[in-house]
Amino acid sequence: MGSSVASITSAPRHFVPSHRCRRGVARMSSAPALVLLAATWALSDTAPAADMDAMAREASITGIEQALADHRYSVAELAGYYVTRIGLIDQNGPSLHSILEVNPDWESLAHDMDRELSGGGPTPDKPLFGVPIVLKDNVDTADRMQTTAGSLALLGSLPRRDAFIVRRLRAAGALILGKANLSEWAGMRSFQQTAGWTGRGGQTHNPYDPARTPSGSSSGSGVAVAANLAAVAIGTDTGGSIDGPASANGVVGIRPTVGLVSREGVIPISTTRDTAGPLARTVADAATVLTVIAGYDPDDPATSYLKDHPPPDYRQALKADNLKGARIGVLRQYAGFNDAVDALLDRAIATLRAQGAEVIDPVDIPTKAAIDADFRKGKFDSDSEIVQETEFKAAVKSYLATRRGPGPKDLQGLIDFDNAHAAQEMPYFGQDVFISSERRGPITDKVYLDALERARRLAGPEGIDAALGKDHLDALIAPTSGPASLIDYIGTGGGGGGGGHFTELAAAAGYPRMSVPMGEVHGLPVGLEFVGTAWSEFKLIGLAYAFEQAAHARRPPGGIVVQ
């Protein structure tokens, strides 16, 4: 089926959430944030809904900046446009369910920004001024919104302060519009977990075909950007949680090198693999957001490298001729799972060559057989799973200790909560990964340390770096995944569209990767993945930008009629 959202020509004055907390859980707190989504808005007479749709749909960051400077619309009108779309499309109509809650203070924040504009602002150090952005619901905000990882267990328990990246976003002028749905606990609860489903927010749907998965775990972030419910979004990634939703929803996603973006104030899974990154409709927008959120944070030791090596302005990488003379290797090992996807890959390779790149096809990850053999050990026994489960048990306890108010304080407490509220939290899948993680030893355990060393070595120095070095390559490419699979609560959970463990490769090494729209298969988007060595974001962004400008492969979702 081809696609999602038609023009909005009218705006209801009130809309209410289509998901509400189940009665038994809602009694735990009377906090206003138990209402998942409530807002009222009417577009002003000077900016009718149809005009705002023409001006703001698919708007880029630079487009928003220019429109505000030209007074074509105000920050409040732009934010109201997105809030209206959330009501019509996300909570009603196609009911994409990508947004868990709208910031109850969005209107006052927007009016404050408009007053700043009328006073001659903003200053040049605010590259995101007035840009509405949504955050995955595992990123702390110390405002009237909740941060829950999609779990009812954390409702009413509040972060003590904004996450580091949220503080940077606010300082850059961004308007934090709301929290996005996800795969509960960022996909950490069960191997049978359904991508994009949470106890708090229900099921997120793909805007190109609501019967299909949005992929996970940053599902709501990807859908919100694709469906024009926000300008840009923040996701998080431990394995494939940024690039998977980017591919499935036809947007750009960047998973940075571990340590480029602080994880302070982000609900953790793995201290050695977690990172946050942008999802956006263009490479330029993603580069702008990454420039804002990257940087040294003394509260996250992983960023210590940046203390003496500050990250560049990634917007400087945006040059259309970046592919001239570039050497790019094709990982056919991670293709071949879908003939139509292979055809898109071949077309992408032709585009790269036409733009002056030297494409070496194929190249191999020399350790792929060993990595695949490790995944076949069993779902609880692979190095990847040992690392994540061991680190999660310790990291989530440390994180929960920072929260104010009621709620579980360790992993066992989360398990107990889910058991006590099984009807709400476990109607489709259980918590086998939680239980396995609770049984793991400490991070000093030799089994864990050996798994960590082996996984990093096979994926990084002996894997990605070896492949890059053998042919003196600038980057590696492969399909991010196949077209989105059907949502399935009974079988596999509908997590993605095939493609092996390519997105896991860079995650295990802690290296960067990014997904850019490559085309569509029967109306469903498919991404092209660019992978490099540590700290190579500038190069990857440059190559991806040049490909994007030449390929013009993204088609916005459209076609679901809003009733």
pTM (two decimals): 0.92
**Where does 379-474 have alpha helices with state H?**
383-400, 411-420, 422-425, 432-438, 446-459, 465-470
Which among 109, 107, 111 has a CA at the least distance from the CA of 119? 111
CA distances from residue 323 to 84, 244, 359, 434, 534 in whole angstroms, order as listed: 40, 24, 10, 44, 20
d(CA 227, CA 250): 10
d(CA 229, CA 244): 19
The residues pairing with 280 across neighbouring beta strands, listed in sequence order, are 252
| CATH superfamily of this structure's domain 14-25+50-551 | Amidase signature (AS) domain (3.90.1300.10)
- Residue 307: both structure tokens together: 């203390």
Length of the chain: 563
Q: What are phi and psi of 557, to 5 degrees?
A: -65, 145
d(CA 121, CA 114): 9
Taking a C-beta distance cutoff of 8 angstroms, is the pair 543, 475 a contact? yes
d(CA 249, CA 484): 8
Q: What are phi and psi of 15, to 5 degrees?
A: -145, 155
Q: What is the DSSP string of 9-42?
A: ----SEE--S----HHHHTT---GGGSS--EE--
Which among 506, 383, 377 has a CA at the least distance from the CA of 454? 383
d(CA 483, CA 527): 9
Q: What are phi and psi of 139, to 5 degrees?
A: -110, 120
Whether the ω angle into residue 256 lies within 30 degrees of 0, i.e. cis, is no
CA distances from residue 113 to 49, 53, 106, 153 in whole angstroms, order as listed: 21, 21, 11, 35
Handedness of CA 478, 479, 481, 485 (dihedral sign): negative
CA distances from residue 143 to 73, 103, 105, 421 in whole angstroms, order as listed: 26, 8, 9, 27
Q: How are beta strands 475-479 and 524-531 bridged, if at all?
A: antiparallel
Q: Active-site residue numbers?
A: 136, 217, 241
Taking a C-beta distance cutoff of 8 angstroms, is the pair 231, 260 a contact? no
For each of the chain's 563 residues, which pLDDT tens digit applies?
333 333 332 232 223 333 323 223 332 332 333 233 333 444 444 467 789 999 999 999 999 999 999 999 999 999 999 999 999 999 999 999 999 999 999 999 999 999 999 998 888 899 999 999 999 999 999 999 999 999 999 999 999 999 999 999 999 999 999 999 999 999 999 999 999 999 999 999 999 999 999 999 999 999 999 999 999 999 999 999 999 999 999 999 999 999 999 999 999 999 999 999 999 999 999 999 999 999 999 999 999 999 999 999 999 999 999 999 999 999 999 999 999 999 999 999 999 999 999 999 999 999 999 999 998 887 789 999 999 999 999 999 999 999 999 999 999 999 999 999 999 999 999 999 999 999 999 999 999 999 999 999 999 999 999 999 999 999 999 999 999 999 999 876 555 666 656 888 999 999 999 999 999 999 999 999 999 999 999 999 999 999 999 999 999 998 543 33
Residue 523's region, left for phi above 0, alpha for psi from -120 to 50, else beta, is left
